[in-house]
Amino acid sequence: MNREYLCRLLEGHKKDEISTADVLARLTSLPCEDLGYARIDHHRGIRNGYPEVIYGEGKTPEQAAEIFGRLAEHNPNVICTRAPAETAEAIRKTAPEAVYHALCRVVALRRERSEGVGLVVVASGGTADMPVAEEAAVVLESFGSKVERLFDVGVAGIHRLLAQTELIRRANSIIAVAGMEGALPSVVGGLADVPVIAVPTAVGYGASFGGVTALLAMLNSCASGVSVVNIGNGFGAAYQADMINKLAVGRKRKDHRS
């Protein structure tokens, strides 16, 4: 349940469109719902502005599907990340409107759609980094941000990135996803005047150490506007980038009014 849903619920009750009993029924599970194997945090959207997101790995398909269904009762948009194909299949039996993005293993239910606000650029070093980058992009779109994808713009062919400088400078926040030596975020940070969120991936040969080399390189970036999330954490990067983007949109609207 998010703030908008709660406001609509209360407005509906105020206008006698929703009964008191129905309002109480919908609020009964707040702040959490105990399923035995999971405690669903229905209150999170009200506290933080974002509903709980399901991490699919480690859960049985049946568990993920039930959690997804319960969240869908309270939220127009629901996300399950890192969902194996069998988990996605179980979820879609519960929520047929949900879409499975196989490349990044995200199941997304989007009953409230918009053109997206602001702009977040999601850039990846190579094609092999696309699953993590696409996870970030799909999550951002589900959260309501406008997204531009820049795939395969790694520094080995830096002209590909430099050709997109105008787009980079229009963004409110940027996600840079890379494996190997992890140089992309530093270069992007040198071109942009907005926060850059670096996402290391496990892409690379033996000395990449499953993404540790890229992680350490990004942590040691000489570009001051770069922050770093964990290896492969496209979701975490999207969450942060969405918050930054919406803060920027709000500030721009305020500046325009003044």
Convert the pLDDT of each residue in 121-178 to its tens digit. Answer: 999 999 999 999 999 999 999 999 999 999 999 999 999 999 999 999 999 999 999 9
Is residue 71 scored above 70 in pLDDT? yes
- Is the CB of residue 241 less than 8 Å from the CB of residue 197? yes
Q: What is the pLDDT of residue 258?
A: 42
Q: What is the pLDDT of residue 173?
A: 97
Q: Report domain extents, the chain.
A: 3-110, 117-255
Q: What is the pLDDT of residue 113?
A: 77
Q: How far is CA 78 from the centre of its chain?
A: 11
- Range scoring the smallest mean pLDDT among 71-80, 126-135, 212-221: 71-80
Q: What is the pLDDT of residue 39?
A: 87
DSSP summary character for residue 33: E
Strands (E), 151-250: 173-178, 196-200, 226-228
Q: How confident is the model at residue 12 (pLDDT cuts 50, 70, 90)?
A: confident
Taking each helix axis as running N to C, give the angle between helix 212-219 and helix 184-191, from 0 to 180 degrees, rounded to the nearest 10: 30
Q: What is the pLDDT of residue 21?
A: 80
Residue with token string 């969405």: 242
Is residue 257 scored above 90 in pLDDT? no
117-255 to CATH, choices 3.40.190.80, 3.40.50.1370, 3.40.50.1970, 3.40.50.720: 3.40.50.1970
- How much is the pTM? 0.84
The backbone torsions φ and ψ at residue 42, rounded to the nearest 5 degrees and listed phi first, read: -70, -15
CB atoms < 10 A from the CB of 115, how many?
6
